[in-house]
Structure 1
Amino acid sequence: MPSASFLIYSGVMPLVKTFISIICGYVLARMGLFPPAASRGASQVTMNVSLPALIFANIVPAFTPSNVSAIGPLFLIAFFYIAFGFFAGLIIREICYVPRNFWQGILVLTGMSNWGNLPNAVVLSVTQQAPFNPATDQALGVSFVSIFIVCYHITFWMLGAAHSLSWDYRPGVPQGEAAERRFRWYEKPIGSLIARYILRRKLPPSQGLSEDAIKEADEKAWPEKEKGQEIVVLDEMDAQIHNEEQVDPDPDIQLARRTSRLSTTTPNTRLRTPSLNPAASSSALPPVPPPTRAHSTHSSDAQSIAQRSETDTLHPPSFKRRVIRVFRPLSALFTPVTITLALSLPIALVQPLKALFVDVSDIGGPDWKGPDGRPPLAFVIDTAEFMGNIAVPLALVLLGASFARLQMPRPLSRLPMMAMFLTTITKMVILPVVGVFLVQAMTNAGLISKGAKAERFVAMFLSGTPTAVNQLIVASLYSPDGNVDTLAAFLLVQYVFMFFSSSALTAVSLLLL
C-alpha cells in the first residue's frame, strides 16, 4: 500500500502546474496583455482545433473492443452527477437566501461542472505514474474524459440548461437591488407548492412571479402605439444575427444564440418593431441600458435573441420554420468535440480502419505499412497529437484570464454567503464522497472492471470539479446589463477551494485503486 506522503504528493503535484497556468492567464489579463479579443480567439482555437485534435489522437489508439464497454457506465455516472447537482441546488435555493435573479442560475451552477480543461490536465499528469500504465492509461484517461464532455454538451446545450438561465431575466423578475429582497420559504417555488397543496394555506401572489406583474412590466417596456403600422422582417433579423456571429466568433456564444431561439420571455411579451413613422418608432423602442461591466458588450446579443423570439410570437412562423425550430436544439450536438468523438469511435473499433492510423498487428489486425514502415495515415495521428498538446495549457490560461475580469459585488455582505458555502461544499465535498462510493459499488457489482484503473480514476475525479465557466458567458448574454456578479462570486469561491478538495480526491482515488 502506498505511503501517506506518496499519496499527498501524488494528489498535490498534478495540480501545481494547473494553478501555475491559471495564474499566468490571470497575470497576463491584469497587465492588459491578454484582452477579451485575444481570449475569444484563443477560445476558438481551443474548442474547434486543439481539443478535438487531442481527443482524436487519444481515442483512436486507446479504444478497443475490450474496453469500449466503459462508455455505458461512464455515461450513467456522468448523468447521475448532473442530476445530483441539480437536486442539491434545488434544496439550497429553497432553504437559503438567493437573489431572485439567480434562482435558476444556482441550479445550473450546482448541476453543471467543468469537465474539459481541468480534468484533462490532472488526468494527463496522474496517469504518468504508478499505479497506472503510462503507455496506455494516458490515452484512455483523455478518452474517458471526452465521454463526460459529451454528457455536458447534451445537458447544457441540447436539454436546455443554458437556455434556462434566461428565466432569471424575464420581465417581472426584479433586477439589481430589488432582486436582493429576502423571500419567505412559502414564496419560493417548492415551498409555495407545499404551503398551497399540502398545508392548504392561502398565499398572496409572489412578487416578481405573477402574470399581472409580468404584464405590467411588459406594458411599461412596450407601450401600445400604432399597432397597425408594425412590420416584421424575419429574414432581415436572421441576417442580423448571422452577422453578429461573424463579428463575435466565440464558440460558447454561438451555441447560446443557436439554442436560444425559442422564447426567452413569457408569452405575454410582444415585440414592437420599428414602424414606418420615425417619431413613433423612436418612442416605441425600449431604452437600452449603457454597458457597465466587462460582459455588458453581450447585452445586445441577448436583446436580439429576445426580439427574434418575440417576433415569432406576434407573427406565427411557417411550417418550415416550425420544423427547424423543433430540431434546432439538436444542433448543439454538432460541435467539433462531439463530431470528433463520432468519427473516432468507429475508427478505433473497426480494425481495418484503425490499421490505417496505428499499428494493430499485435492484436490480430491488418499489418499495413507505408514506405517508412509505419501505417499509411500515421501522420494524421502525429499531427493531432502535435496540435492537441496546446489544448490543456491554453484552456487553463483562458480560465485565469476569465478570473481577472470577474467583477465582485460591493459590499461583500450583499452576497448570499450561506448559499455560496453550501454549493461549494456540495460540489467539492459531498458529491465527491458520493462519487467514490458509487464507483466502488459499480466496481464490486462488476459494471466496472477492477483492473480498469484509468476508468475508475476518471469516474471518481470528475465528481469533484467546480462549475464550468461557460455559464458565466451564457448568463451575461441574457442579463440586461451584462451583470453576473453573483455568479462570479460563486465561481471564485469554488476555484479557490478546488486546490484542496481536488488534491484530497486524487489521493483518495489513488489509494482505492
Structure 2
Amino acid sequence: MVSTSTLIWISCRPLLRLMFCVTCGIAITKADVFPPVAAAGAGQILLNITLPCLMFSKIVPAFTSQNVNALGPLILLAFLYEAIGMALAYLIKQLFWVPHRFRYGILVTGGWGNVGDIPTAVVMSVTLFPLGGHKLVAWDFQGPDVEPEEVKEAMRLKRKALLLPLSSFWGKSRYRQPTGSDIADEVAEKTMTNGSEVIIHSAPQKHVSFIDDSSTAVPTDGVASATCSRTPTEINYRYRQSSPDRTERATREMVPNTAVSLSIYEVTEPDTLPSHAQHTTRMHATNTSQFHVPFSIFNLKVLSEFLKALLTPASITIFLAFLIALVPKLKALFIEVPGTHIPSAPDGQPPLAFILDSTSFVGAASVPLGLICLGSSLARLSWPRKGEWKKLPLGAISWIAIAKMVVMPVLGVLICEGLTNVGLISKDDKVLRFVCIFLSCLPTATVHVLLTQVYSGTGSSEHLAPFLIPQYVLMFISMTAITAYTIQLLF
C-alpha cells in the first residue's frame, strides 16, 4: 500500500516539469525576448514540423493490428468529453451572463481541452477545424458590439422568466406575472437611468426609441428591424396602443439578433402597421430571391472546405503513420518486425530506420516548445485590474472553471469505470484506463487564445483571459488529485 505522501509526490512531479517549461515561456515573454511574431513562428514550427514528427515517431512503433482496437475507447471518450463540456458550458451560459463577444467562445472553452496524446489530439483537430468548431469563435465578432449592461439586463429578464414557473410550482412565487406595461416601463426606466438617448418623433407618427449605440439604425416603418445575425441576448418590445391584448403578448416576444437593442417601437394607427404574416411573407420572399444557392453547389463547397482543412501536415502524417504501422511489410522498413524479412542497411538496421530516428529527434522538441508557447500565451493575457473585477461575469467564470476542473474529472471517473464494467475497456489495461481518466481533467485548449486573437481583428483576447487563467491555476490541484486517486484506484 503506497502512502499518501508518496502518491502526492508521484502525482506532482510530472507537473513540476510542465511548470518549468511554462515558466520559461512566461519569463522570456515578459522580458520582451519572445515577441508575438516569434511566438507565431514557433507555433507554425510546432504545428507543421515538430508535431507531425512526434506523431510519426510514436505511431509507427507503437501500433500493430493486435492493439489498434485500443483507439476505439479513446476516440469515443474524446467525443464524449467534448460533448459533455459543451453541454455544461451551454448550461452555464443560460444561467449566468456572458460578454457579448464571448457568447459562442464559452462553448469552445467548455468543449475543447488542452489534449496532447495522439487519438484525442486527432479528434480535437478534426472537430475544431474540418468540422467547423473554430467558427464558433468567429461568430463572437460578427455584428455590432453590445454593452455588458444590456446583456446583464437581458439575462436578468431571462432568468426571471425561467424561475417564474418553478416558483409557481412550489407555491413560493415572489413575483407576479409581468404585464406588457410592466416590462415596457421597466425597460424605459432602466435605459433612461443609464443615460440613453431619447428620441421623440412628432406627428403623423409618434416614435420613442431607446438606443445605447447611436450608430444603430432605427426603423421608422413600424416594423422591428433585425440586425445582421443572431444571438439570444436580443429583446424587442412592440406594441399597439389600441390593442391591449396584443401589447401583453408582443412585449414578451424574444427575437434572436446580434445586438441587444431594447426598443419601444412607434405607436401608430392599427391600419398603418403591417401584419406579422405580411412581414414574414415579405422577408421570406426577399431571402429566397437573394440567398438561394443550389444545394449541390453548397455541398461541393462544404466538402472542399472540409478536405482543405483535413489535408494539414499533422493529419497527413497521422494517416500515413497508421498505414505503415498496420502493414507488416511497410513497418519492417522502419523497425524490425518478427516474421517479416527485409534486407537491412549496412549498419544492420532496417533500410528506413534513419527516417524514424530523424523524426524522433525533431519530435522531441514538440512538447517543450508547445509548453513554452503556452507560457507565452498566458503571459500576454491581461489580468483584470483592481476595479475591474466587479464588472466581470464572475458567475460564469467561476462555474466554467469548476465544470472543467472539478465536475469533468468526476464524470470522467464514472464514465471510464462504466465502460470498464461493460467490457469496452479491459480491466487489465491499466495504462489505458489511467489515460482515459486523466484526459477528463484538462483545461481549455490554448489554441482558443490564438483563434480569438485572429478573429477579433485587434489581436486581443480580453474576454478569454478571465475564463482561462482560473482553469490553469486549478489545474495543478485538480491534476494532482485525479492522478493520485487514479493510481490508488488502479494499483
Quick check: TM above 0.5?
A: yes
Say whether 1:183 aligns with 2:154. Answer: yes
CA shift for structure 1 position 16? 0.1
State which structure, 1 or 2, has the greater radius of gyration over its C-alpha atoms. Answer: 2
**Contact 2:56 2:321 survives alignment (8 Å):** yes
In the alignment, which residue of structure 2 is the partner of 1:325? 301
> Residues 127-142 of structure 1: matches in 2 within 5 Å?
none
Go from structure 1 to structure 2 and tell me whether the alpha carbon gap of 1:83 and 1:323 turns closer, same or farther (over 3 Å shift).
closer
Partners of 1:477 and 1:316 in 2: CA distance: 30
Which of residues 141, 146, 170 in structure 1 aligns to 2:118?
A: 146
Q: Any idea what the Cα deviations from partners look like across 1:175-218, whole Å, max 9, x if unmatched?
A: 5x5565343355379959x99xx99998879x9xxxxxxxx999
Who is 1:289 aligned against?
none
Q: 2:315 aligns with which of 335, 338, 342?
A: 338
C-alpha change, 1:372 and 1:390, in structure 2 (3 Å) is same
Alpha-carbon distance between aligned partners in 1 of 2:155 and 2:294, rounded to the nearest angstrom: 45
- Give the letter aligned to residue 448 of structure 2: Q
Distance 1:161 1:460, change over 3 A: same
Separation in structure 1 between the aligned mates of residue 21 and residue 354 of structure 2, nearest angstrom:
29
Asked whether the equivalents of residues 104 and 165 of structure 1 are also in contact (C-alpha less than 8 Å), the reply is yes
TM-score of the two chains, using structure 2 as the length reference: 0.71
Instruction: Report the structure, 1 or 2, having the larger helix content.
Output: 1
Under a length normalisation based on structure 1, what TM-score does the superposition of the two structures give? 0.68
Structure 2 counterpart SS, 1:511: helix
Query: What corresponds to 1:434 in structure 2?
Result: 411
Which structure 2 residues correspond to residues 254-273 of structure 1 after superposition, within 5 A? 266=229
Q: CA deviation at 1:473?
A: 1.8
Q: Tell me if the contact between 1:75 and 1:148 (Cα under 8 Å) persists in the aligned partners.
A: yes
* Amino-acid identity (%): 38
Aligned pairs (5 A) from 1:36-435: 36-116=36-116, 145-175=117-147, 177=148, 181-184=152-155, 186-187=157-158, 220=215, 266=229, 322=298, 325-327=301-303, 328-361=305-338, 364-410=339-385, 411-435=388-412
Indicate if the aligned counterparts of 1:100 and 1:168 stay in contact, CA closer than 8 A.
yes
Q: Which runs of 5+ in 1 are unaligned?
A: 117-144, 208-215, 224-263, 268-312
Aligned to 1:13: 13
Counterpart CA distance in 2 for 1:179 and 1:335 is 42
Structure 1 residues 93 and 346: CA distance shift in structure 2, 3 A: same
8 Å contact kept, 2:95–2:159: no
8 A Cα contact 2:22 2:374, kept in partner: yes
Change (3 A) 1:48 1:265: farther
SS class of match (1:365) = coil
Q: Structure 1: which amino acid aligns with 2:154?
A: F
Matched residue type, 1:438: I
Distance 1:48-1:482 versus aligned 2 partners, 3 A rule: closer
Any unmatched runs of 5+ in structure 2? Answer: 170-175, 188-210, 219-226, 231-288
- Give a deviation string over 1:218-252, Cα, whole Å, max 9, x none: 995899xxxxxxxxxxxxxxxxxxxxxxxxxxxxx
Alpha-carbon distance, 1:3 to partner: 2.7
In 1, distance between residues paired with 2:46 and 2:453? Answer: 21
CA–CA distance in 2 between the matches of 1:7 and 1:460?
16
Structure 1 Cα separation of the partners of residues 103 and 439 of structure 2 = 25
Look up the equivalent residue of 1:82 and give its one-letter code.
E
| Structure 1 residues 318 and 107, CA gap change in structure 2 (3 angstroms) | closer
- SS of the residue 1:424 aligns to: helix
SS in 2 for 1:171: coil
Runs of 4+ in 1 over 6 A off after TM superposition: 198-205, 216-219, 313-321
Letter in 1 for 2:378: F
